[in-house]
Amino acid sequence: MTMKSLTIVAAAATLFITAPSFARDCAAGLVGDWTTNIGATMRFEAIDGETGMLSGHYIPASDPDMSFPLTGFVNPNGKDDSKAHYAVPVSVTVSFGEFGGITNWSGTCSMTDGKPVIETEDLIIFPMADFYWSHVVDNHDTLEVKD
């Protein structure tokens, strides 16, 4: 096995580690609870170390007894030390079941003041809208580790 292969295997294996929030980083510490701008919780429960597939639940701030399954991908590969900045690509999708909507958050996780932060651009899709062009709304969200 080459050194590069060993590095990739080691990085993938670390995706399964759940660390306390103060010790999290973008490569090893995504599993756990994250808070959105509107106070909802994204609970990342598992990340497949081979495929990067993410699974968990979205818990709305308005009703913490309700949850919706989420799925997505994390890809910690591609780090090049010759570049000025590295961020881990993250994409998460939630289907809001009986309510009919779907939201996708796509962005990057990077370290800010020693803590991982996920900055995303979101597409919020509504089945019902006032106009044909208003079914999809874009937004920016910042996900922070929930203490």
Q: What is the value of pTM for the model shown? A: 0.79
Spatial separation of the C-alpha atoms in residues 35 and 71, rounded to whole Å:
16
pLDDT digits (tens, 9 = 90+) for 19-49: 333 335 686 679 999 999 999 999 999 999 8
Average pLDDT over residues 61-81: 92
CA-wise closest residue to 113 among 11, 14, 22: 22
Spatial separation of the C-alpha atoms in residues 63 and 36, rounded to whole Å:
14
Give the domains, in start order, of the chain with CATH numbers. 3-145 (2.40.128.30)
pLDDT digits (tens, 9 = 90+) for 77-124: 888 777 778 889 999 999 999 999 999 999 999 988 888 999 999 999
CA 68 to chain centre: 15
Question: SS3 of 135, please?
Answer: coil
